[in-house]
Structure 1
Amino acid sequence: MRVYLLIAAIAGGATWLVTPLVRHLAIRIGAVGKVRARDVHTVPTPRMGGLAMLVGFAVAMLFASRIPFISGLFQSSHQAWVILAGAVAICLLGIADDLWDLDWMLKLAGQLLISVFVSWGGIQIISLPLGSLVTASPSLSMAITAFLIVASINAVNFVDGLDGLAAGIVAIGGIAFAAYSYIIARISPSYASLATLLDVALVGICVGFLLHNWHPAKLFMGDSGSMLLGYLITCASIVVTGRLDPATIHTSLYLPAFMPILLPILVLFLPVLDMCLAIVRRLSHGQSPMHPDRMHLHHRMLKIGHSVPSAVLILWGWAALFSLGSLSILFVPASYAFIGFVLAAGLLTIATLYPYYRRRIPEIRRENAALAQARQLSGKPAAHEAAPGHARIDSDESDQ
C-alpha cells in the first residue's frame, strides 16, 4: 500500500509542478479558448491542461517501472507500455482539438483509431466474472473494448463543464477502482496489480491538477485532459474486470460475483448519465449528438441557484455515493449498505434542491398573497352593489 501511495504522490507532485509551465505554453501557442455561449466562465482561460496530467502520469509510470515490487508488471507484459503509448496519442489528439477545434467526426475517428490500437495491444475484455465472454472472436472482443473506451472518453468530456468537476469525479472513481483492485490483488499470490497502479497514478494526476483547476481555474484541462482521464479510467477498469477468473470471484467470500460488472458502471454513472441525456435530448430536437448546449447536469445545477463551487461539491457527492457506496457491500452487510445509501441519497437530494426551494418558496408566498389581494379587490364591487342603500334607490326608481 505504501508503494502505491508513493506513486500517487509522485504523479500528483509532478502534475502540480508542471501545470504552471503548461499554462504559459498554452498562452504562448494560442491554446486559449474563447468564451462561448454555452460556457460558464466569463474570461478567456488557457486550456491544454491534459499535457500536464500526461507528464505526471508518465513520470509515475517510469518511476514505478524501477520499483522492485511493481517492476515485474512491466517486464512480464507490455500492457503498461501500450496504455502509456495510448495515453500519449489521446492527449496529442486532445491538444490538437484545444488548438484548432477539430470537427467532431474527425475527433471521434481519432479516438476510435487509438482505442483499436490499444485493444490490439492487449487491453481487451477477454471474459466477464459472470461467465466467459459470449464473443469467442478476438476481433469482436477488440471491437467491444474499443467501443467502451470511446464511450467513456466522451462521457468524461461531456461532464467537463465546471472548474474541477471532471477531475474530481474521475479521482473519486479512481479511488473506488484502486480499493477494489487492491482487494483483488491481495487474493492473488502477488500483490502487484497493474489496475491498482493505473488507478493510483490517475488519482494523483487529478489531485495535482485540481490544485490549479479549482474555481476560479487558472488553467482548463481541455479535451486533452478530459479525454485522457476517460481513457485511463476505462483502461484500468478493463484491466481489472476483463481478465478476472470467474471461478475465483464466485468462490470468494469477500467479492460478490456482480461487483466487477456493477462497479465500472457506477464509477462513471454521472458522466454516462449526462452523456445519454444529452444524446437523447439533441436527437429529439433533430440535432447532432455532439451539438453543444447548456442543458448538461452542471448547467442545471447553476440554474437551480448553486454557485460553481457548491455545484461541483454536490456533484462530487453524487459521484462518491454511486462509486464508493457500491464498495460498502464488501465491508458491511448489504442491508446496512442499502440503508446508508438511502440516507446519503436523501441528504444529497436536499442539498441539490435547497437553493431552488429557498428561492421558490418566497416567490410562491408572494404569488399567493397577490392572488388573495386580487380576490379581495374583485370582491368589493360585488359587496357594494349588494348594499342596502343601493337596494332602496333601485326600489324607489322602480316605483317611479
Structure 2
Amino acid sequence: MSELLALADRGAGVPLRELALVGLTAAITTFFCTGGVRMFATRVGAVAYPRERDVHLQPTPRMGGLGMYFGVCAAIFLASQLPALTRGFVYSSGMPAVVVAGGIIMIVGLIDDKWGLDALTKFAGQVTAASVLVTMGVAWSMIYIPFGGVGTIVLDQMSSILVTLALTVSIVNAMNFVDGLDGLAAGLGLITAAAICIFSIGLLRSHGGDVLYYPPAVISVVLAGACLGFLPHNFHRARIFMGDSGSMLIGLMLAAASTTAAGPISQSSYGAKDMFVLLSPFLLVIAVMLVPALDALLAIIRRTRAGRSPFSPDKMHLHHRLLQIGHSHRKAVLIIYLWVAIIAFGAASTIFFEPRYAGAVVVGAIGIAIVATVIPLLRREDTDPALATAPDSSPGTEPVVYDEK
C-alpha cells in the first residue's frame, strides 16, 4: 500500500500548462532584462570591437548571457512555487543545481566578456560548474551500449563523475565554439532544448507523470524560453552578443537536461527492442555537438595540411562556406538550424513513433536539407559556371557578422 501511495504521489499526469507558463516566464524575463544588460555592458566597456579577422563593422556589447541567466532564475523560481511542479524539486535537485552551476558559469563568462580569460582558467571554471552538477546529483548513472549484447551499463561512482564531467565540459565548449553568427548559438539552444522538452514530455506520458522525469522537462523548457527571449536582440543584425557567459550557460543547461533525461532510462524500463529510445539522450547530445565538432575537425585537418597551427584563425568555417556558395547571413543560420533540428527532433521522436517511421521522416528531411544547402550553388552554375567559385556580391548576401570568438 505504501508503495502505491508513493507512486500516486509521484505520478499525476503531464503539467503542460505549467511548463508552458514557466517557459513563457523565462522568455519574457530574458527579453526585458537583456535590454538593461545591453546598456550596462556598454557602460562598463564589455564591448566587442572589430578586429582584423572580424567582419562586424561596429562595436557591439557582450554579456547577453546575464539577461538569459535572469530569465532562467525567474522561471525556475516560478516552477518551484507551482503546485504541479513543486514535487519535482522534492525528488530531484536538478533544477537548483542548474541555478548554482549556472551562477559559476556566469561569473567566469562575465569576467571573460569584460577582460578576457586564458583558456586554462576558463576550463577550470567549466570543470568547477560541472562538478557542482555532479555534487548536487546531476550525473550519468547508466549508459546503454547497443553493440555486442552489452545493454545497459550501470556506472560506478568514479565512472559516473568522469563521464558527466567529460560530457558537460564538451557540450559547454561546443556551444562556445559554435557561437560565431548572429543568432546561431541561441537558435541551436532553442531547437535542442525544445527537442529535449518534447522527449521529456513523452517520458512523462509513458510513466504516468512520474516526477523523476520533471527535471529534464523543466530545465529544457526554461532554456528554450531564455533562448527565445534573447533571439530578438541577437538575430542578424545583433544589438548584443551573448558572449561566453551566454554560450557556456546554454551548454551547461543542455548538458544538465540531457543528463537528467538519461538518468531514469534503463533497459529494464524499455527493453532492448526500444534501442533508439535508450540512445535518444546520446543522440540529443550529438545534435548539440555535431556542427561544432565537424567544423573543428575540418578546421584542424585544413590547417594542419597547410602547415599552420590547428588553432590559428581563418575564414573557412562551415558558416563561411555557406556564405561563399550564395546564402545570405540569415539563410546560412537557418540552414544550420535545419540540420541540427533534424537530428534533435529525430532523436526525440523515437519516444512517440516506431523507429522505422521516425527514420523514414529523418531520411526525407535530410534530403530536403541537402537540397536547401546546395541550391544557391546549383543556381549559380546554371547561370554561369565561371561564377561557381566566385564570391557572391548580391544584395541578399551580407558579410558574416561574428561574435567575439
Q: Is the TM value for this pair above 0.5?
A: yes
Cα gap change, 1:363 to 1:105, in 2 (>3 Å): farther
Shift of 1:158: 1.1
Match of 1:194 in 2: 215
Question: Aligned runs of 1:103-252 on 2, under 5 Å?
Answer: 103-130=118-145, 131-133=151-153, 135-136=155-156, 138-192=157-211, 193-250=214-271
Match of 2:345 in 1: 324
Q: Does structure 2 retain, via aligned residues, the 8 Å contact 1:10–1:56?
A: yes
Partner of 1:220: helix, strand, or coil? coil
Shift of 1:274: 2.6
Matching of residue 76 in structure 1 with residue 91 in structure 2: yes
Which of these residues, 30, 37, 58, is aligned with residue 45 of structure 2?
Answer: 30
Q: Does structure 1 retain, via aligned residues, the 8 Å contact 2:130–2:169?
A: yes
Shift of 1:207: 0.3
Which of these residues, 359, 364, 368, is aligned with residue 347 of structure 1?
Answer: 368
Question: Aligned runs of 1:383-398 on 2, under 5 Å?
Answer: none
Q: Aligned partners of 2:43, 2:88: CA distance in 1, in Å? A: 39
Matching of residue 260 in structure 1 with residue 281 in structure 2: yes
Shift of 1:194: 0.7
Q: Does structure 1 retain, via aligned residues, the 8 Å contact 2:26–2:226?
A: yes
What residue identity is the alignment partner of 2:170? A
List per-residue Cα deviations over 1:333-353 (Å, max 9, x = no partner). Answer: 444433332332222212212
Q: Does structure 2 retain, via aligned residues, the 8 Å contact 1:9–1:204?
A: yes
What residue identity is the alignment partner of 2:158? S
Q: Does structure 2 retain, via aligned residues, the 8 Å contact 1:40–1:162?
A: no
What residue identity is the alignment partner of 2:43? R
Which of these residues, 337, 347, 352, is aligned with residue 358 of structure 2?
Answer: 337
Q: Aligned partners of 1:41, 1:65: CA distance in 2, in Å? A: 41
What residue identity is the alignment partner of 1:184? L
Q: Aligned partners of 2:17, 2:364: CA distance in 1, in Å? A: 33
What residue identity is the alignment partner of 1:133? I
Q: Aligned partners of 2:187, 2:210: CA distance in 1, in Å? A: 27
Greater Cα shift, 164-173 or 201-210: 164-173
Matching of residue 309 in structure 1 with residue 330 in structure 2: yes
Normalised by the size of structure 1, how large is the TM-score? 0.84
Question: Pairwise CA RMSD of aligned residues?
Answer: 2.4
Q: Aligned partners of 1:334, 1:140: CA distance in 2, in Å? A: 30
Shift of 1:356: 2.4
Cα gap change, 1:326 to 1:243, in 2 (>3 Å): closer
Q: Aligned partners of 2:386, 2:170: CA distance in 1, in Å? A: 46
Q: Aligned partners of 1:173, 1:61: CA distance in 2, in Å? A: 19
Q: Does structure 1 retain, via aligned residues, the 8 Å contact 2:27–2:227?
A: yes
Partner of 1:350: helix, strand, or coil? helix
Which of these residues, 36, 41, 44, is aligned with residue 59 of structure 2?
Answer: 44
Match of 2:318 in 1: 297
Partner of 1:128: helix, strand, or coil? strand
Partner of 1:306: helix, strand, or coil? coil
Q: Does structure 2 retain, via aligned residues, the 8 Å contact 1:129–1:244?
A: no
Q: Does structure 1 retain, via aligned residues, the 8 Å contact 2:112–2:244?
A: yes
Q: Aligned partners of 1:296, 1:163: CA distance in 2, in Å? A: 15
Partner of 1:133: helix, strand, or coil? strand
Cα gap change, 1:254 to 1:359, in 2 (>3 Å): closer
Shift of 1:278: 3.7
Percentage of pairs with the same residue: 39
Q: Does structure 2 retain, via aligned residues, the 8 Å contact 1:249–1:255?
A: no
Cα gap change, 1:89 to 1:286, in 2 (>3 Å): farther
Q: Aligned partners of 2:276, 2:17: CA distance in 1, in Å? A: 23
Greater Cα shift, 100-109 or 274-283: 274-283
Instruction: List gaps (5 residues or longer) in structure 2.
Output: 1-15, 146-150, 389-405
List per-residue Cα deviations over 1:336-386 (Å, max 9, x = no partner). Answer: 43333233222221221222233344442689xxxxxxxxxxxxxxxxxxx
Match of 1:87 in 2: 102
Matching of residue 7 in structure 1 with residue 22 in structure 2: yes
Partner of 2:277: helix, strand, or coil? coil
Q: Does structure 2 retain, via aligned residues, the 8 Å contact 1:50–1:223?
A: yes
Q: Does structure 2 retain, via aligned residues, the 8 Å contact 1:254–1:330?
A: no
Q: Aligned partners of 1:166, 1:349: CA distance in 2, in Å? A: 21
Partner of 1:244: helix, strand, or coil? coil
Cα gap change, 1:284 to 1:126, in 2 (>3 Å): farther
Question: How many residues are treated as equivalent by the alignment?
Answer: 366
Greater Cα shift, 240-249 or 270-279: 270-279
Q: Aligned partners of 1:284, 1:149: CA distance in 2, in Å? A: 31
What residue identity is the alignment partner of 1:313? L
Q: Aligned partners of 2:68, 2:177: CA distance in 1, in Å? A: 19
Match of 1:385 in 2: none
Instruction: List gaps (5 residues or longer) in structure 1.
Output: 368-400
What residue identity is the alignment partner of 1:31? A
Q: Does structure 1 retain, via aligned residues, the 8 Å contact 2:94–2:260?
A: no
Q: Does structure 1 retain, via aligned residues, the 8 Å contact 2:141–2:154?
A: no
Match of 2:112 in 1: 97
Cα gap change, 1:114 to 1:252, in 2 (>3 Å): same
Partner of 2:236: helix, strand, or coil? coil
Greater Cα shift, 289-298 or 345-354: 289-298
Q: Does structure 1 retain, via aligned residues, the 8 Å contact 2:192–2:284?
A: no
List per-residue Cα deviations over 1:216-235 (Å, max 9, x = no partner). Answer: 11111011100110110011
Cα gap change, 1:247 to 1:40, in 2 (>3 Å): farther
Cα gap change, 1:331 to 1:187, in 2 (>3 Å): closer
